[in-house]
Structure 1
Amino acid sequence: MDFCDFLLIDNTSQSESMRPLLQEWLHFSSSPNIYAIVSNNPKNCDIYAPEINWYLKNSKAPLEIKAQNLKRMYFSRMSRYEYGSDKDFYTKVSPTLLIIGKNSEAKEFLDFVQNYEKISYEVGLIDPKNILSISGNLGAFEAKIKIGEEMGKISFAQAVIFYEDDDLTRFMGIEKASEFEDEKALLEKLDSRIGTYEYKTTISYQSQNCQYHHRRPDKKGDGYCHKCANVCPTFGVSKNDSLMELSFSQIDCIGCGECVAVCPSGSIEYAPFNMQSFNETLKHYQNTQILLIAQSSLNELKDFEIPDHISPLILNQENFLSEAHILALLQESGSSCVYYSQNLFSSSHEAIKLINDIYHNIYQKTGFYVAKSLPELNMAIHSLEKIQTYTYSPNADEYKRKHFAERLRFAVKNKDYGQVKSGASGKLIRYGRIDVKEELCTLCMSCVGACNVESLSANSSNFTLQFNPSLCTTCGYCVDSCPEKAISLELSGISLNSTWFENQIMAQDKMFACIECGKEFATKKSIEKVKSMMTPLFGNDKAKLKTLECCADCKVKIMFEENFQTTT
């Protein structure tokens, strides 16, 4: 079988007329007998791009514009193929089913399954009160049960519950009967997983900048940042407060992407369309006006006539866009854009509002439109306008706030556009700054050691504690790490001026020289702090009091001489 990177299967005259414009990189065929990386036909390809057929059907643009947009859509898919970090996984799911419930509906469903002819299920019914715990995952669940005085275990591949338990339904493979129209619809869902169940990596994770990983718990015994686990509707992301580690279950993850949107450091990425592949894609969308659509929403726009000036960009899922993604999209395209979606989560709304507030302050324009219906989409599409172009290529290890800050710095330059607030919830999209009471700070730099995103830093050349608000994730870890209680956190949003992106001196001191040898070994404030604590304990012991102002080497020398004189 022949092979190509990009394949267009189309028997219409339209493809023939575009061939001269596309044939340098696109292979044309009338049948899917050629294997391709990206194709508009689901057969014999690594990546199926249904948006190609949708665009060809609904665009009346001139051939040159069509050719440009086809190239953008094909190369967007290729960027995801080359830079995305998703992988395929498989698990066996046997036709074993546990029905959990005690009402008449549960018993009727048991009868229905036992008489079901399409698939022969090994099925059982159990009262919820007899279940002690359920663990495992789709295809390999285990329930610990107690009936009377007898303890036991039940293994099963899937389950249906006939009562309210929002925790159990976070598992992929455990369904709540009340969420389905009838028994047939429920069984169709269960049937779809029988055999070899295929799933993909939907989120990737790097722990080095994570605001939760291996940090001390806070005063409540909780972590300082676990937004990802908080917003996850399944067991895709969960946290272990005893180990201070996040756990990820790709099989339970439904790929909604909200954990990606709320992660302040970028430690969690949407694997099929990570930030690197997103930025590579945007290189093909420079100087365009973009219509964003999730692949699952294409059918809702199956008869939508695409205006000539619109370049569609198809997303794998709806809710992974953060403020960093949105700002990158607006700056690389150089225009406002519109997102057609009926199912945006709170985190997406907060990110969109933040960006629009920024654009209103700086440009007096709306950057990012959201359309939930065709009338709204038509209105938004004709409201799009050019704003300002900026191309930026983040480093491979550059975390989200750094990337976002560099883009925002370009828009702000050396002017002052006022203040924009963080997200309304105060829990999802957060920006702010710390305040340090300099009179209390001893420059011990515990806060610098606590900060893993380089928002706080120590400058040894001038003995200062410095803070860059644009990099701060507002996790609050530095606040509780300060032994002097000198730091406070304010969720004040973003200051749209140049100082927001610069290191600011929060505290400063001079070095203290050892009274014996003259070597500088600590700050004056730290020495004064130690003296205030230890002087009452040392009383009139002149030798010990003297050591408080000595370096480590001289301290030992003085105490040795004191002990020698005492013994002689």
Structure 2
Amino acid sequence: MKLEARVYSLLNDMQKAILHECDEIVLDFTAFNAKATMVVKPNFVVIGYGELTDEFLSLCINENHGYTLEVSHLLPQDFVGLKGHLGDFTLQFKNANGEIESLQTSQIVSFAPLENCPAYKGVHTPDKYDNAHCMLESLLCLCGERHYTHHIVFEPLTCQYQGRRVFANGKSVCHLCVDICPTMGISSDKDSMLLSLSSVDCIACGKCVSVCPTGSVQRQGDGLESFTYRARLYKGYIPLIVSSLDFESEGFARDFKALQTLNPLLLPFVLQVPDILNATYLLTLLQESGAPIVLYSTLGEHTHNDIATLNEIYQRIFRQNAIIGSTDSKAIEALQPLMQSHYIYTPTNKENSKDIFSARISFWIKQESYGKIAMNNSGFLHIDTAKCTLCLSCVEACNANALINNN
């Protein structure tokens, strides 16, 4: 019996149908062109000078590699900048007359430290390899037909970086996705104030989705709309958040059987990448299921503040925690659906994640007052009415709907 089948054997027909329906919803919201293919040609630029550079160039030219290599050589002082991704880099350099030119190449090899050379996949430095042969072998392994997936969907209209004006101190409004990306899946150009997404470099960790304050970055098939419809299927159950990897493990089958003994209402809520979760996703699941949430798979530190915030809100309104770990046996045993927390809300295409969170939390708060609670990427807006001329420039500039014209 397959490991996944062991888990399904612990579920009744209704529960199995819910999990299958969740899989179908993900497929429905996944674009047909999510998977793509490219050809990485055997051409690259070598940047550097000296013995190591000469050794590598000689290896490329004088030995048979199964490919006809096209190798260009550039001195470090002539390098200007690099954009693109593996298989399609645009390299800018200074020619003999000091003019800036561009050339297209598939990969880069640099034997010198370069300030404007990001660590894209396909950019090679000798410190990562034992010798020149190993480095060349790595380059050649990347050549040929390569398959990849567009994991991230980007909406630039609500992004707080894309094309936005910087502050007086030179800092941008938001670059959280760039800061947390462990690769070059998302990078920023400080001159043009534009984000660049590289599906080739993206490892689909989901962290950028979690930290985006407006939902401009979402995961393919796992966006807020898709997530809402899946969460809605869990009414009457207690969602047990588990990654796809954990769900298919032998350990989960054993642990889930034990958890079911504690509370038969637990039902796996399987996510390819649970690290996409933030306050809006979690609030959606809490309300659409009408029950607290149990975490089986460990989430990254970037989610801790959002979980703490929701637990504080839940405590003040419902006198219990909203989200607990799967090792808290006593708490799990006592968990029950909380129908007064249940709320169905279908977001529209024009709403960002802040809009959705605001609409959802308003249902719980209504006209009551529960005090102030700190939240990530939120604050108070103060307007000096004596100085305001009602020019509405701020309303036009705000793409997060924090400012609106009531006239």
With the length of structure 1 as denominator, give the TM-score of the two structures.
Answer: 0.57
Q: 1:178/1:389 Cα in 2 relative to 1: closer, same or farther (>3 Å)? A: farther
Structure 1 residue 270 displacement after superposition:
1.9
Contact 1:169 1:234 (8 Å CA) reproduced: no
Partner residue in 2 for 1:88: 35
Contact 1:105 1:162 (8 Å CA) reproduced: yes
Partner residue in 1 for 2:85: 137
Which whole-Å CA distance do the structure 1 matches of 2:125 and 2:222 have between them?
A: 31
Structure 1 residue 167 displacement after superposition:
7.0
Q: Deviations over 1:278-299 (max 9, x none)?
A: 1111122222222222334446
Which whole-Å CA distance do the structure 1 matches of 2:124 and 2:360 have between them?
A: 44
Structure 1 residue 403 displacement after superposition:
1.1
Say yes or no: does 1:73 pair with 2:73. Answer: no
Q: Considering fraction of residues, name the structure with more strand.
A: 1
Which whole-Å CA distance do the structure 1 matches of 2:159 and 2:216 have between them?
A: 6
Partner residue in 2 for 1:411: 364
Partner residue in 2 for 1:445: 392
Q: 1:368 aligns with which of 289, 303, 323?
A: 323
Partner residue in 2 for 1:318: 274
Matched AA of 2:345 = Y
Structure 1 residue 124 displacement after superposition:
7.1
Q: 1:357 aligns with which of 291, 312, 319?
A: 312
Contact 2:48 2:112 (8 Å CA) reproduced: yes
Q: 1:172/1:413 Cα in 2 relative to 1: closer, same or farther (>3 Å)? A: same
Matched AA of 1:440 = K
Structure 1 residue 392 displacement after superposition:
1.8
Q: 1:322/1:108 Cα in 2 relative to 1: closer, same or farther (>3 Å)? A: farther
Which whole-Å CA distance do the structure 1 matches of 2:314 and 2:64 have between them?
A: 59
Which whole-Å CA distance do the structure 2 matches of 1:231 and 1:60 have between them?
A: 39
Matched AA of 1:417 = Y
Which whole-Å CA distance do the structure 1 matches of 2:147 and 2:406 have between them?
A: 52
Partner residue in 2 for 1:251: 200
Q: 1:214/1:130 Cα in 2 relative to 1: closer, same or farther (>3 Å)? A: closer
Q: 1:274/1:220 Cα in 2 relative to 1: closer, same or farther (>3 Å)? A: same
Structure 1 residue 324 displacement after superposition:
0.7
Which whole-Å CA distance do the structure 2 matches of 1:318 and 1:163 have between them?
A: 39
Partner residue in 1 for 2:406: 459
Q: Deviations over 1:398-445 (max 9, x none)?
A: 2211211121112222222222112xxxxxx31121122333334343
Contact 1:169 1:175 (8 Å CA) reproduced: no
Q: Deviations over 1:315-341 (max 9, x none)?
A: 222322221101111122222223344
Q: 1:390/1:343 Cα in 2 relative to 1: closer, same or farther (>3 Å)? A: closer
Report the 3-state secondary structure (helix = DSSP H, G, I; strand = E; otherwise coil) of the residue aligned with 1:417.
coil
Report the 3-state secondary structure (helix = DSSP H, G, I; strand = E; otherwise coil) of the residue aligned with 1:290.
strand
Which whole-Å CA distance do the structure 1 matches of 2:74 and 2:170 have between them?
A: 35
Report the 3-state secondary structure (helix = DSSP H, G, I; strand = E; otherwise coil) of the residue aligned with 2:275.
coil
Which whole-Å CA distance do the structure 1 matches of 2:324 and 2:133 have between them?
A: 40
Which whole-Å CA distance do the structure 1 matches of 2:122 and 2:405 have between them?
A: 51
Q: 1:213/1:118 Cα in 2 relative to 1: closer, same or farther (>3 Å)? A: closer
Contact 2:45 2:74 (8 Å CA) reproduced: no
Q: 1:394 aligns with which of 347, 355, 371?
A: 347
Q: Deviations over 1:243-283 (max 9, x none)?
A: 44433333333323333222222233222311111111112
Structure 1 residue 378 displacement after superposition:
6.9
Matched AA of 1:403 = I
Say yes or no: does 1:174 pair with 2:120. Answer: no
Matched AA of 1:170 = A
Matched AA of 2:187 = S
Q: 1:316/1:185 Cα in 2 relative to 1: closer, same or farther (>3 Å)? A: farther
Which whole-Å CA distance do the structure 2 matches of 1:156 and 1:81 have between them?
A: 35
Contact 1:338 1:377 (8 Å CA) reproduced: no
Say yes or no: does 1:337 pair with 2:285. Answer: no
Once the two structures are superposed, the pairs formed by residues 193-272 of structure 1 within 5 Å of their partners are 193-272=142-221
Which whole-Å CA distance do the structure 1 matches of 2:129 and 2:334 have between them?
A: 40
Q: 1:420 aligns with which of 367, 373, 383?
A: 373
Q: Deviations over 1:18-45 (max 9, x none)?
A: xxxxxxxxxxxxxxxxxxxxxxxxxxxx
Number of aligned residues: 395
Higher relative contact order (CA 8 A, sep 6+): 2
Partner residue in 1 for 2:231: 282
Which whole-Å CA distance do the structure 1 matches of 2:137 and 2:222 have between them?
A: 30
Structure 1 residue 148 displacement after superposition:
11
Q: Deviations over 1:472-505 (max 9, x none)?
A: xxxxxxxxxxxxxxxxxxxxxxxxxxxxxxxxxx
Structure 1 residue 383 displacement after superposition:
6.8
Structure 2 unaligned residues grouped into runs of 5+: none
Matched AA of 2:158 = N
Matched AA of 1:459 = N
Which whole-Å CA distance do the structure 1 matches of 2:336 and 2:131 have between them?
A: 48
Contact 2:44 2:107 (8 Å CA) reproduced: yes
Structure 1 residue 234 displacement after superposition:
3.7
Matched AA of 1:395 = T
Q: Deviations over 1:63-108 (max 9, x none)?
A: xx34233222221121112123462221102455667788999999
Q: 1:404/1:203 Cα in 2 relative to 1: closer, same or farther (>3 Å)? A: same
Which whole-Å CA distance do the structure 2 matches of 1:81 and 1:260 have between them?
A: 19
Contact 2:311 2:321 (8 Å CA) reproduced: yes
Q: Deviations over 1:494-524 (max 9, x none)?
A: xxxxxxxxxxxxxxxxxxxxxxxxxxxxxxx
Q: 1:208/1:254 Cα in 2 relative to 1: closer, same or farther (>3 Å)? A: same
Contact 2:311 2:322 (8 Å CA) reproduced: yes
| Structure with greater Cα Rg | 1
Which whole-Å CA distance do the structure 2 matches of 1:121 and 1:353 have between them?
A: 57
Which whole-Å CA distance do the structure 2 matches of 1:302 and 1:126 have between them?
A: 52
Report the 3-state secondary structure (helix = DSSP H, G, I; strand = E; otherwise coil) of the residue aligned with 1:217.
coil
Q: 1:459/1:298 Cα in 2 relative to 1: closer, same or farther (>3 Å)? A: closer
Structure 1 residue 201 displacement after superposition:
2.0
